[in-house]
């Protein structure tokens, strides 16, 4: 039996459809390829723009770096805004200011001390002038102690006559109103007293027994009395109304004793020296 190979008959319409499909697919692929190329181009352009932008930024940074490098001269401290030269200059200026200030103070005090010395010398000169005019020494035969002049008489007389003699000399019998004055008189009388001599002072109770008064009628301050031990003793009831100074049993002590006012004794007169102590030496 003879077989005959049959060739399938191609449907023309089907072929045309297949060809159309291939063409469409090819076009689509071309379109896709075109789109891809466009996208690629866009991406590349974008990358180029970014690269250009980065390059510009890098260029700006380089310029800033160059400017900073120009500003940072050799010798500058990166951590400090002041160069070593400027720091040294500031230190020198500070030392100069301090030195000028110290010198000013020194000159001021020197001038002040010089002025004080000048004023002191002027004051001394005025003091000497004042001494010459307002501080004359006590008269001959008188001794000055503080504000008073003292006269130690060599004549002997009663208390009343001794007071009269002092009055004739512009004074009165001494009034003792301080421990310092008592000590002064003690020293002077110990130097003057010979053979247990005795000196009248201005204290008496002749007006009223037991009421001791000074020549200016002021009462005795008992806290400033310098009686010898056992004094006053009234001498067994005798009229002993006046007070004198003499040595006690201890030859180094000169104290007060009551005695008869008509006894003839030496005396101590006192008068105001009329001096201004603030100007006197």
Q: What is the number of domains present in the chain?
A: 2
Instruction: Quick: pLDDT tens for 150-181.
Output: 999 999 999 999 999 999 999 999 999 999 99
Q: Do 160 and 252 share a domain, yes or no?
A: yes
Q: Do 128 and 234 share a domain, yes or no?
A: no
- Is residue 38 a part of any domain in this protein? no
pTM (2 d.p.)? 0.52
d(CA 154, CA 231): 26
Helical H segments across the chain, by residue range: 12-71, 84-134, 159-168, 179-192
3-state secondary structure of 158: coil
Which of 134, 151, 169 lies at the terminal end of a domain, its last residue? 134
Q: Do 159 and 116 share a domain, yes or no?
A: no
3-state secondary structure of 145: strand
Instruction: Quick: pLDDT tens for 199-248.
Output: 999 999 999 988 999 999 999 999 999 999 999 986 655 678 999 999 98
Domain hosting residue 116, numbered range: 82-134
β strands within the chain, DSSP E = 143-145, 148-152, 172-173, 199-204, 242-247, 254-259, 266-272
Strand pairing category for 199-204 and 266-272: parallel
Q: Do 197 and 174 share a domain, yes or no?
A: yes
């Amino acid at each position: 039996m003879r077989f005959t190979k049959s060739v399938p008959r191609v449907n023309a319409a089907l072929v045309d459809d297949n060809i159309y499909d291939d063409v469409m697919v090819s076009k689509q692929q071309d379109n896709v390829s075109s789109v891809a190329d466009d996208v690629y181009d866009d991406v590349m352009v974008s990358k180029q723009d970014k690269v250009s932008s980065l390059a510009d930024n890098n260029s700006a940074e380089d310029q800033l770096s160059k400017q900073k490098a120009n500003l940072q001269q050799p010798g500058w401290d990166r951590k400090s805004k002041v160069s070593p030269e400027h720091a040294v200059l500031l230190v020198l200026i500070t030392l100069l200011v301090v030195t000028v200030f110290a010198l000013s103070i020194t000159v001021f005090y020197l001038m002040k001390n010089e002025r004080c010395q000048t004023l002191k010398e002027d004051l001394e000169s005025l003091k000497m002038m004042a001494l010459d005019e307002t501080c004359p020494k006590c008269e001959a035969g008188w001794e000055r102690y503080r504000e008073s002049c003292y006269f130690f008489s060599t004549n002997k007389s009663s208390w009343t006559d001794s007071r009269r003699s002092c009055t004739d000399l512009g004074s009165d019998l001494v009034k003792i109103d301080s421990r310092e004055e008592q000590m002064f008189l003690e020293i002077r009388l110990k130097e003057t007293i010979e053979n247990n001599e005795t000196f009248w002072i201005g204290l008496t109770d002749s007006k009223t027994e037991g009421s001791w008064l000074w020549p200016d009628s002021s009462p005795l301050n008992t806290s400033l009395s310098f009686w010898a031990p056992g004094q006053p003793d009234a001498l067994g009831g005798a009229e002993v109304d006046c007070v004198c100074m003499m040595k006690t049993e201890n030859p180094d002590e000169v104290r007060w004793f009551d005695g008869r006012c008509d006894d003839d004794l030496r005396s101590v007169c006192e008068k105001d020296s009329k001096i201004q102590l603030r100007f006197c030496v």
